[in-house]
């Protein structure tokens, strides 16, 4: 999933107090799972903003609404579009995709990001999420026993560790496992250590962010292909 963290309250309050009527728009998918921007967080933020505005004597009305996904047009139903149009501004608790897509659906809307989007990650335990994929567009997991050096090595090294690894931890941060230690251990367990001796050619980074903004077109599933 895409992970995110709530922006500091003061930042969001500064967005809100520029307007008289604000809609806090939660998103029911990734940011709900990582507890940053689902219905519960939208309700809490709405209460916090309302209370703070009252304390400060600021004329601010805040409403909450949450939809299943802000990155999908089908969930911007009539009621949602009306709420957005009725508000002076929206504080979206979706990831950066949702914030931008909200403006694509309703180009006149003013939409502020209420969360900071982080990474593609997994839930390790309650309250802990960890990066697992960098969306490189050309997955090479099979070559490394299912562990990703692109996203999980601080230097994205594909031909072994940098030499700074210590006690299995990354030299960049001792809280991070050196992924090359984990790759070595796993390939050894799988009896595939010899594969790590093969030199990996330079990776084509143009399939990732370095190639510019990307899109996927599946002609077989477009509405034109399926009238």
Residue (77 or 204) nearer to ligand SF4, CB:
204
We find the least distance from the C-beta atom of residue 207 to ligand SF4, in angstroms, to be 9
Query: Which residues in 120-151 are b (16+ Cβ under 10 Å) and which e?
Result: ebeeeeeeebeebebebeeeeeebbbebbbbb
Angle between helices 9-16 and 39-56 (to 10 degrees): 70
Residue with tokens 């940011």: 31
By CB under 6 A, residue 157 contacts ligand SF4: yes
Q: How many CB atoms lie within 10 A of CB 220?
A: 7
> Residue 97 CB, nearest distance to ligand SF4 (Å)?
17
Total number of residues that touch ligand SF4 (CB under 6 A): 24
Contacts of 103-108 spanning 24+ positions with Cβ under 8 A: 105/73, 105/76, 105/81, 106/76, 106/81
Running DSSP on this structure, what letter comes out for residue 138? S
Please choose, out of 69-77, 109-117, 165-173, 193-201, the segment that lies near ligand SF4 by the rule CB under 6 A: 165-173
Candidate residues 33, 106, 133, 158; the one interacting with ligand SF4 per rule CB under 6 A: 133
Would you count residue 44 as binding ligand SF4 (CB under 6 A)?
A: no
CB of 203 to ligand SF4, least distance (A): 9
- Check binding of 145 to ligand SF4 (CB under 6 A): no
Nearer to ligand SF4, 49 or 153 (CB): 153
Q: SS3 of 66, please?
A: strand
Q: Does 102 bind ligand SF4 (CB under 6 A)?
A: no
Kindly give the pairing relationship between strand 115-125 and strand 89-92.
unpaired
- Which residues contact ligand SF4 (rule: CB under 6 A)? 133-136, 139-141, 148, 150-151, 153-155, 157, 161-162, 164-165, 170-172, 178-180
């Amino acid at each position: 999933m895409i992970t995110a963290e709530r922006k500091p309250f003061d930042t969001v309050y500064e967005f809100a107090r520029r307007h008289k009527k604000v809609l806090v728009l939660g998103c029911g998918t990734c940011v709900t799972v990582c507890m940053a921007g689902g219905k519960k967080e939208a309700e809490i933020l709405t209460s916090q903003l309302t209370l703070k505005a009252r304390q400060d004597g600021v004329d601010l009305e805040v409403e909450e609404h949450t939809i299943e996904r802000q990155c999908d047009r089908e969930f911007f139903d009539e009621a949602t579009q009306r709420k957005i149009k009725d508000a002076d501004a929206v504080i979206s608790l979706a990831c950066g995709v949702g914030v931008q897509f909200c403006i694509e659906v309703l180009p006149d809307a003013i939409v502020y990001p209420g969360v900071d989007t982080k990474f593609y990650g997994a839930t390790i335990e309650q309250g802990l999420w960890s990066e697992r994929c960098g969306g490189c567009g050309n997955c090479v997991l099979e070559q490394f026993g299912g562990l990703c050096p692109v996203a999980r090595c601080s230097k994205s090294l594909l031909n072994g560790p940098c030499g700074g690894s210590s006690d299995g931890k990354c030299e960049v941060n001792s809280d991070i496992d050196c992924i090359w230690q984990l790759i070595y251990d796993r390939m050894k367990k799988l009896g595939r250590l010899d594969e790590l001796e093969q030199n990996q050619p330079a990776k084509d980074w143009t399939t990732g962010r370095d190639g510019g903004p990307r899109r996927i077109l599946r002609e077989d599933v477009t509405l034109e292909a399926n009238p």
